[in-house]
Structure 1
Amino acid sequence: MPEPIALCFSGGKDSCLALQELRRQGRFEVVELVTTVTDAFDRVSMHGVRRVLLREQADSIGLPLTEVVVPPEPSNVVYEREMGKAFGRLSARGIRRVAFGDLFLEDLREYRVRQLEESGLECEFPIWHSPTDELARTFIRDGFRALTVCVNPAVLPVSFAGRAFDDAFLADLPAGVDPCGENGEFHTFVFDGPIFDRPIAVALGEVTERDGFGFCDLLPADRPVSAEAAAP
Structure 2
Amino acid sequence: MRPRALLSWSSGKDSAWTLHVLRQRGEVEVVGLVTTLNETFGRVAMHGVRVELAHAQAEAVGLPLWPVPLPWPCSNDEYEARMRAVVAKALAEGVTAFAFGDLFLEDIRAYRIRQLTGTGIVPLFPLWGTPGETPALARAMIAAGLQAVLTCVDPRRLPPKFVGRAFDAALLADMPSDVDPCGENGEFHTFCHAGPVFNRPIPVHIGDVIQRDGFWFADLIAGPTPPFVQTAADRKRP
Range into which the TM-score falls when normalised by the shorter chain: over 0.9
- Per-residue CA deviations over 1:110-142 (Å, capped at 9, x if unaligned) read 100111125331100001006100110011000
Counterpart of 1:139 in structure 2: which amino acid?
M
- Per-residue CA deviations over 1:128-170 (Å, capped at 9, x if unaligned) read 0061001100110000110000000001111111000001100
- Per-residue CA deviations over 1:176-223 (Å, capped at 9, x if unaligned) read 1000000000000000111011111111111111111110000111x3
- The aligned counterpart of 1:204 is 206
Query: How many residue pairs align between the two structures?
Result: 229
- In the alignment, the residues of structure 2 paired with residue 2 and residue 48 of structure 1 have an alpha-carbon distance, to the nearest angstrom, of 34
- In the alignment, the residues of structure 1 paired with residue 106 and residue 32 of structure 2 have an alpha-carbon distance, to the nearest angstrom, of 25
- The aligned counterpart of 1:45 is 45
- The aligned counterpart of 1:66 is 66
- In the alignment, the residues of structure 2 paired with residue 205 and residue 60 of structure 1 have an alpha-carbon distance, to the nearest angstrom, of 22
Counterpart of 1:90 in structure 2: which amino acid?
A
Residues 13 and 188 in structure 1, CA contact (< 8 A), matched pair in contact too: yes
- In the alignment, the residues of structure 1 paired with residue 119 and residue 150 of structure 2 have an alpha-carbon distance, to the nearest angstrom, of 33
- In the alignment, the residues of structure 2 paired with residue 108 and residue 60 of structure 1 have an alpha-carbon distance, to the nearest angstrom, of 28
**Where in structure 2 are the equivalents of 1:57-206 lying within 5 Å?**
57-129=57-129, 131-206=133-208
* Identity among equivalent pairs (%): 50
Q: Post-superposition shift, 1:51?
A: 0.2
Which sections of structure 1, spanning at least 5 residues, go unmatched? Answer: none
Residues 113 and 123 in structure 2, CA contact (< 8 A), matched pair in contact too: yes
Counterpart of 1:178 in structure 2: which amino acid?
D
- The aligned counterpart of 2:7 is 7
Which sections of structure 2, spanning at least 5 residues, go unmatched? Answer: none
Counterpart of 1:114 in structure 2: which amino acid?
R
- In the alignment, the residues of structure 2 paired with residue 179 and residue 148 of structure 1 have an alpha-carbon distance, to the nearest angstrom, of 12
Counterpart of 1:33 in structure 2: which amino acid?
L
Residues 206 and 225 in structure 2, CA contact (< 8 A), matched pair in contact too: no
- The structure with the greater share of residues assigned to helix is 2
- In the alignment, the residues of structure 2 paired with residue 150 and residue 20 of structure 1 have an alpha-carbon distance, to the nearest angstrom, of 23
- The aligned counterpart of 2:220 is 218
- In the alignment, the residues of structure 1 paired with residue 6 and residue 226 of structure 2 have an alpha-carbon distance, to the nearest angstrom, of 30
- In the alignment, the residues of structure 1 paired with residue 170 and residue 42 of structure 2 have an alpha-carbon distance, to the nearest angstrom, of 32
Q: Post-superposition shift, 1:224?
A: 6.8
Residues 31 and 64 in structure 2, CA contact (< 8 A), matched pair in contact too: yes
- In the alignment, the residues of structure 2 paired with residue 224 and residue 115 of structure 1 have an alpha-carbon distance, to the nearest angstrom, of 42
Counterpart of 1:134 in structure 2: which amino acid?
A
Residues 98 and 123 in structure 1, CA contact (< 8 A), matched pair in contact too: yes
- The aligned counterpart of 1:17 is 17
- The aligned counterpart of 2:26 is 26
CA RMSD of aligned residues (A): 1.8
Judging changes above 3 Å, is the alpha-carbon distance between structure 1 residues 68 and 4 closer, same or farther for their aligned structure 2 residues? Answer: same
**Secondary structure in structure 1 of the residue aligned to 2:35:** strand
